[in-house]
Amino acid sequence: MSITETVTVRAFEAPFSLEGKTAIVTGAGRGIGKSIARRLVSAGASVMICDLDEKMLVQAAEDLGDSSRVGHFQGDLTDPLVPGELVEATLGTFGGVDIIVNNAGYSWDNVIQKTTDEQFQAMLEIHLVTPFRILRAASGYIRDAAKHEIASGQRVMRKVVNITSISGTDGNPGQVGYSAGKAGVIGLTKTLAKEWGRYNVNVNSVGFGLIETRMTQALGADIAQMEMHGHQIKLGVQQAMLDSVKSACPLGRLGTPEEAAGAVLFFCSPLSDYVTGEVLICGGGLHF
């Protein structure tokens, strides 16, 4: 084996590191978002986690360890001012932004004839408008940093990962608002991949199937709820639906938050440096 071949093999086999990178992860107080943040911290990145629930957010930051590399920002991302404040807080704390994971979201379901304007708009606000506002707020820093790097002969890859769903790719009865928001994320992803390629930014989406979170727990006597803008929103799905999904899924089960985070980590890593504008489905082979 030649020296060149030896170096190439070693480079290929070496584990990647995200040392020196800074990430924003929204909806990271629990569940998938927290697992994504944990994966990024473990890979060496500094992470600003964001959530609406301050108590869960503070606990998540403590759980993630190294306080010098984990910051937390509490806020309602559907407030038009908050996405910009999140970006500014990240720049102020860590000095840069290299990875943005737009994960925050929830479901507020109903069939179309029972879906109010407020309900439909709420799904668009959190799943589509919020990622748009965060990315718009970060665009100035990303463009300026990239121009400086390119002028000095450097290629520094940055990453955007927008979270979609098989409800957005395939549709799902009873989720007209959620599905519309998640489908819109794909259009946002593909357009921004074309706009930001010149700045060495990979923009991709990960679409989840059913992952084991409070949103997919079986409905029972103790129904989980969340409060959003004065509404108590029930979380969970019927046990019959869970059984049906497991039966239809080739892998025969729901995914774990850690497995979901693994798919996101790929798009945050150097392994995806020549992948952009794509949608990776992490759903165990399930399609609605």
- Which of 106, 141, 178, 199 is an active site residue? 178
Q: Is 106 a catalytic residue?
A: no
Single pTM value for the model: 0.91
User: How many angstroms separate the Cα of 50 from the Cα of each of 4, 24, 47, 98, 217?
Assistant: 44, 8, 10, 16, 23
What band does 67 get if pLDDT is binned at 50, 70 and 90? confident
Calculate mean pLDDT across residues 81-95: 98
Q: Any idea which of 54-68, 131-145, 156-170 has the lowest mean pLDDT?
A: 54-68
Q: Minimal CA–CA distance to 261: which of 57, 34, 51?
A: 34
pLDDT of residue 144: 98
List the domains of the chain with CATH numbers.
Answer: 18-211+257-282 (3.40.50.720)
User: How many angstroms separate the Cα of 138 from the Cα of each of 100, 131, 201?
Assistant: 9, 11, 12
- Tell me if 197 sits within 8 A of 142, measured CB to CB: no
